Amino acid sequence: MTSQLDLGSSIPAARTAVGQRTATSRVVHLVGSLPKDLAPDQRTRMQWVLDRSGGARLSAVPCDDDPSWIIEYLRSRAQVPAFEVVRDGECADYADIPVYRVRQGHRLTIEDVSLGRPEEVYRAVTTWRELGGPAALPPVQASVPSPLDLAMFTLGDPPRVLRHFPVFERMIATEVAEIAHRHGPGEVVLQLESPVVLYLLHRAPRPARSAIAHLLAHQLARVIVSAPRSARWTLHLCYGDLGHVSLFGPEDLGPAVLVANALAAHLRTYGRRMPTVHIPMAHGDQPPLVDAAAYAPLHGLARGIGVIAGCVDERQPELSAKALSFAETALGQRVVGVAAACGHGRRTPTEAAFNIELARLLAGS
């Protein structure tokens, strides 16, 4: 990996690696979180993104207030009377996450597990309007965790997760519907996020992966159809990024293709469009996959599914460009956009700025 001191040389190298901008540039997708060291007010954070986009076509403007929101959510469950702590934790790594159970005699409600996303998105859209709104800017991007992910992170134990998953699902569906009814597709694009999907497929025996992918895709589809048909969605698949370390290291992109194809099939039965899929091609602090064979499964992606290549690693511009080339060769067509493998919340502002600059170059290559 390139050292911190070498970051300044990455962009000239990237310009050589990716060539010149074309008239049909891919979009730049900012996955969600921004560096925690930026000013805390949302207007400043949004303006920081816009100032660094440099004329690139952004898919959306991220609005997450807190790059560690899932950590704060888990910690805050200790203050909710519905829960009692099974195992305490400081979220230093994946083995240090607090785990809860529902207090005996309590019937879990959606208020007990609420995220408060509608209020957060409303504040973000208000700020976005002040900065130019729909006349000048792409829509606000609102992150939506998969209810299965949220239940697993909160409850840990599979039997507890299965017992209480419907409450998490109803909460997410309620908040998504409220956001979509309040804000039109020109104002907000919803991003459904799930590291658990790829983690479970990674752990599953290969012969069982197709069936498991359909089960996991079914719960993702139910979230998407909880919003009006007019709502715009992106699917963000992920390997986890706690402490900028992934839950696992992928062998290839086969599991991502399995779940994307399964989701497209489920959404067809509902008469819904398949969202664009962000497929991570790097993981944690590790660079993009460098073996062309790892990208070969993309050849089996169902036609019509747009892909955002999560290949942008500011420390490895040449590998990032290779990963983009491998992905498009396997797909047989250009990707819709480029992005980092996960959000910028575990990067410094300097690292994030270089990542956005490299994304701009790759988008126009």
- Domain boundary assignment for the chain: 4-363
Q: What is the pTM of this model?
A: 0.91
Q: What average pLDDT does the chain have?
A: 90
Residue 145 makes CB contacts below 8 A (sequence gap 6+) with 70, 115, 172, 193, 194
Residue 99 makes CB contacts below 8 A (sequence gap 6+) with 85, 86, 87, 89, 154, 155, 156, 157
How far apart (Å, rounded) are the C-alpha atoms in residues 299 and 327? 9
Contact 102, 22 (CB under 8 A): no
Mean of pLDDT values over 230-256: 88
The closest alpha carbon to 234, from 43, 364, 61, belongs to 61
Tens of pLDDT, residue by residue over 113-138, are 999 999 999 999 999 999 998 889 99
- The class that CATH gives domain 4-363 is alpha beta
pLDDT at 66: 66
Residue with tokens 């956009």, as numbered in its chain: 337
pLDDT band (50, 70, 90) for residue 1: very low
pLDDT band (50, 70, 90) for residue 11: low
Mean of pLDDT values over 280-292: 91
DSSP-assigned beta bridge partners for residue 193: 145, 236
Residue 243 makes CB contacts below 8 A (sequence gap 6+) with 92, 93, 346
